[in-house]
C-alpha cells in the first residue's frame, strides 16, 4: 500500500505525516475513522482523534467532541457511529433502523462503544490549560458547558448497563466492545442463531481485499442478526435484556468506565460541577472492584462473563489486562505487569517490537493477521501506557513509547500490525493510529 518515501526518517517527519493523515481524513465536520474503509465518526475513535487534534488545535479538537455529543440520544447514550453522507459503508443508517430513535437530523447507529471520552477530555483540558491563553479559555468553556452531557452518558452506562451492582457493564453486541471479533466473544456468538433477515452485501471485504484480515461472513451474519433484534424492539433499553441473544459483561469496557469516572470527577470538581464528583468517584470504585473480582487466580487475567449462561470467559486476550486500566489493587497490578512483560506477551522474543498483541502470542487460537485475533493495535499501546503513567509508571510509559514509535516508523499508520513481522494491516492512514502517534510525540 501507499507510495514511495517509506519508511519515515525521523520523529519530526513522523509527526508531520500523522498531521497530514488527520488533515486528509477531515471532512470539516468530522475526522473519519479511516479514509476508505470507515468514512464515518466512531465514538471511541473520536475521543482519541480529538486528543491527537489537540496537539495542533484545541479548537478543532473540541469541535470534534461537540460533533459527537450532538449525536447523543435522549437516554444519554452516545452512539458508536455518527454517519457522514459518504456512501459505501455497511451496515448503513437504513440497515440500523435508528431514524426516530436518534436526535433529529442525526444519522447514527443504535449501540455504544467504550467510554474513553472523559479520560481523553481530561488529557485535552490539561494540555490546553498548560498552554493557557485562548486554548485554556476554550477548554474551560467546553468543560463547563458539556460536563452535564458526559455525566448523562456515564449515568446511562451505569444505570442501564451496570445497574445490577456487579461493577461490570453489559454489552449486547461485540461491536460495543470495540474489539469486534476478539475470541472473547466466540462462545457467546456461537449461541446466536440468526433468524429471518434481509439479505446483505458487505462492503468491508471490497476494501480490505485480503479477506483473511477481516471477520468471516458467518460472523457478519450474527452481527447483523443482533442489529435486527435491537431494531425490532426500537432500541428500547428496558427490552434489550429480555430479547437479546448476546449479553456479555465486558471487563475491558468496565475498566475503561472505572478510569473515566475518576477523570470525569476531577473535571467536575475543577469546572463547576463538584456536587456530582462523589457519585462519579463511587462509580469508579464500584467498577474497579467489579473488574478486580473477575480475575482468574490461576492465570492472573481478568475475565468477561456470558450473562446468558453465567460462564466466565477467560481467554488470553488483551482485555485480560483490564486492571491495568482501572488501577486494581497493588499486588494484582504487580502480578499483571509480570505477565504483561513475560514470554506470552511483550517479552515474547519472536515479536517485531515488545508491544502487547490483541491475544497472547502463545495462544493456540492466535491469528496474527486477523483483526482482534492477534494483531497489535497502536491505539491500545498508547492507551495502556497512558493509564500506567497515570499512576506514576513513567518507566513503562517510556518503554512502550519507544517500541510503539519504532513500530510506527514504517510509515503507513496501519489500523493494526502483524506482531512478528511488523507489517501494517487493515486500513492504512487510520485516524486513531495517527492521533496516538501525535500523543506519543507531544
Question: Interface residues with ligand 9YW (CB under 6 A)?
Answer: 33, 38, 42, 44-45, 178, 180, 204
Cell of 239: 427490552
- Contact of 296 with 183, CB cutoff 8 Å: no
Q: For the chain, report the end-to-end CA distance as a whole number of angstroms.
A: 27
**Given 176, 262, 292, 415, which residue is catalytic?**
415
Query: CB of residue 371 vs ligand 9YW: minimum separation in angstroms?
Result: 7
Pairwise CA distance, residues 140 & 119, whole Å: 16
Query: CB of residue 239 vs ligand 9YW: minimum separation in angstroms?
Result: 25
Query: CB of residue 170 vs ligand 9YW: minimum separation in angstroms?
Result: 18
Query: CB of residue 429 vs ligand 9YW: minimum separation in angstroms?
Result: 12
- Contact of 436 with 52, CB cutoff 8 Å: yes
Please, is 13 exposed, middle or buried when counting C-beta atoms within 10 Å of its C-beta (0-12, 13-18, 19+)?
middle
Q: Cα dihedral sign for 285, 302, 248, 387?
A: positive
Q: Any bridge partners for residue 249, and if so which?
A: 170, 305
Q: Which residue is nearest to ligand 9YW (CB)?
A: 178
Pairwise CA distance, residues 347 & 419, whole Å: 12
| Per-position DSSP letters for 325-391, written without gaps between them | HHT--HHHHHHHHHHHTSTTTTT-TT-SSS---SB-TT-TT--TTSGGGS-B-HHHHHHHHHHHHHT
Phi then psi for residue 92, to 5 deg, are: -90, -175
Query: CB of residue 242 vs ligand 9YW: minimum separation in angstroms?
Result: 27
| Per-position DSSP letters for 161-200, written without gaps between them | ISTTSSS-EEESSHHHHT-TT-GGGHHHHHT----S----
* DSSP structure class, residue 11: H
Give the CA angle between residues 328, 332, 337 to the nearest 5°: 100
**Given 180, 204, 237, 269, which residue is catalytic?**
180
3-state secondary structure (DSSP) of residue 137:
helix
Query: CB of residue 384 vs ligand 9YW: minimum separation in angstroms?
Result: 15
The contacts of residue 26 (CB under 8 Å, 6+ apart) are none
| Per-position DSSP letters for 266-299, written without gaps between them | HHHHHTT-GGGHHHHHHHHHHHHHHHHTT--TTT
Cell of 181: 471479533
Query: CB of residue 394 vs ligand 9YW: minimum separation in angstroms?
Result: 28
Does the annotation count 180 as an active-site position?
A: yes
Query: CB of residue 82 vs ligand 9YW: minimum separation in angstroms?
Result: 12
Query: CB of residue 142 vs ligand 9YW: minimum separation in angstroms?
Result: 23
| Per-position DSSP letters for 28-75, written without gaps between them | SS-B-SSSSS--SEEHHHHHHHHHHHHTT-HHHHHHHHHHHHTT--TT
Pairwise CA distance, residues 65 & 280, whole Å: 21
Which is closer to ligand 9YW, CB of 327 or CB of 431? 431
Does the annotation count 415 as an active-site position?
A: yes
Residues designated catalytic: 180, 415
Amino acid at each position: 500500500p501507499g507510495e514511495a518515501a517509506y519508511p519515515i526518517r525521523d520523529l519530526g517527519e513522523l509527526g508531520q505525516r500523522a498531521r497530514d493523515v488527520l488533515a486528509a481524513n477531515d471532512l470539516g465536520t468530522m475526522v473519519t475513522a479511516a479514509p476508505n474503509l470507515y468514512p464515518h465518526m466512531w465514538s471511541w475513535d473520536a475521543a482519541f482523534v480529538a486528543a491527537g487534534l489537540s496537539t495542533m488545535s484545541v479548537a478543532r479538537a473540541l469541535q470534534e467532541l461537540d460533533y459527537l455529543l450532538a449525536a447523543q440520544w435522549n437516554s444519554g447514550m452516545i452512539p458508536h457511529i455518527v454517519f457522514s453522507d459518504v456512501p459505501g459503508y455497511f451496515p448503513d443508517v437504513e440497515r440500523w433502523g435508528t431514524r426516530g430513535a436518534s436526535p433529529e437530523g442525526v444519522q447514527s447507529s443504535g449501540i455504544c462503544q467504550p467510554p474513553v471520552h472523559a479520560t481523553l477530555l481530561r488529557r485535552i483540558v490539561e494540555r490546553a490549560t498548560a498552554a493557557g491563553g485562548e486554548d485554556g479559555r476554550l477548554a474551560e468553556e467546553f468543560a463547563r458547558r458539556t460536563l452535564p452531557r458526559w455525566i448523562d452518558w456515564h449515568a446511562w452506562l451505569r444505570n442501564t448497563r451496570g445497574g445490577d451492582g456487579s461493577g461490570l457493564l453489559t454489552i449486547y453486541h461485540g461491536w460495543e466492545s470495540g474489539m469486534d471479533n476478539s475470541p472473547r466473544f466466540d462462545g457467546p456468538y456461537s449461541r446466536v442463531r440468526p433468524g429471518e433477515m434481509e439479505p446483505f452485501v458487505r462492503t468491508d471485504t471490497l476494501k480490505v481485499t485480503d479477506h483473511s484480515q477481516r471477520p468471516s461472513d458467518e460472523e457478519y451474519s450474527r452481527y447483523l442478526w443482533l442489529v435486527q433484534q435491537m431494531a425490532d424492539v426500537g432500541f428500547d433499553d428496558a427490552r434489550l435484556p429480555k430479547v437479546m441473544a448476546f449479553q456479555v459483561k465486558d471487563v475491558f469496557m468496565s475498566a475503561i468506565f472505572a478510569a473515566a469516572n475518576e477523570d470525569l470527577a476531577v473535571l467536575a470538581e475543577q469546572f463547576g460541577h463538584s456536587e456530582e464528583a462523589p457519585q462519579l468517584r463511587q462509580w469508579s470504585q464500584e467498577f474497579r472492584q467489579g473488574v478486580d473480582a473477575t480475575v482468574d487466580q490461576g492465570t492472573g487475567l481478568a475475565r468477561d462473563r456470558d450473562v446468558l449462561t453465567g460462564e466466565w470467559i477467560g481467554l488470553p486476550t488483551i482485555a485480560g489486562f483490564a486492571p491495568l486500566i482501572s488501577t486494581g489493587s497493588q499486588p494484582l497490578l504487580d502480578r499483571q505487569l509480570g505477565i504483561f512483560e513475560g514470554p506470552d506477551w511483550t517479552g515474547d522474543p519472536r515479536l517485531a517490537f515488545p508491544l502487547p498483541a490483541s491475544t497472547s502470542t502463545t495462544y493456540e487460537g492466535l491469528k496474527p493477521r486477523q483483526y482482534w485475533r492477534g494483531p497489535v493495535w497502536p491505539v491500545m499501546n498508547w492507551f495502556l501506557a497512558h493509564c500506567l503513567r497515570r499512576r506514576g509508571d513513567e518507566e513503562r510509559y517510556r518503554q512502550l513509547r519507544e517500541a510503539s514509535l519504532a513500530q510506527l516508523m514504517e510509515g503507513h499508520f496501519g489500523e493494526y500490525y502483524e506482531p512478528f513481522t511488523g507489517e501494517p494491516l487493515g486500513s492504512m492512514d487510520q485516524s486513531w493510529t495517527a492521533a496516538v502517534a501525535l500523543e506519543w510525540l507531544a
